[in-house]
A = this chain, B = another copy of it.
């Protein structure tokens, strides 16, 4: 198997450029399309992700949402507050463990799911991508992500030489 390390310096830096840039660009392009599609719902892309988790798995503590989205409280706390202000969720201190805060869908939050079904349809119509392509893309992304996550855990391979 050919790895990056075996390439000459020129190509090395160039390919790295292309890959990290194209991923960066793809994420932002997706964000842009979702931003437009989500305008009707008055949700940002990360807020939509949080709502998807709640719609799919029901009421759950902040901790759990963070695990599913791989986001920490520094990101989630203000985000969930905004969703609460918008009337889509309530946040309640858990009774059995007062450190924990349970996030619950309100009527309005649950009802929004109906209108949210329109979003993937719009994305699909806009891009015209095939399910097979998207599934393949997803598989590849997940492979890369788990490789990167594993690497991040073992920092020695990154910092040291």
Interface size class of A (residues with CB under 8 A): 35 or more
Per-position contact with B for A35-52: 1 when CB-CB < 8 Å, else 0? 011011000011011001
The docked-state distance in angstroms from the alpha carbon of A23 to that of B3 is 23
- Which secondary structure dominates where chain A touches chain B? helix
Assess whether A127 is in contact with B151, with CB atoms less than 8 Å apart: yes
A90-132 interface with B by 8 A CB criterion: 113, 116-132
Known: A14-B56, A30-B20. A2 touches B127 (CB 8 A): no
Given contacts A4-B120, A20-B34, A30-B144, 10 further A-B contacts (CB under 8 A): A1-B130, A3-B124, A4-B121, A5-B125, A16-B123, A21-B49, A22-B141, A23-B30, A24-B27, A33-B151
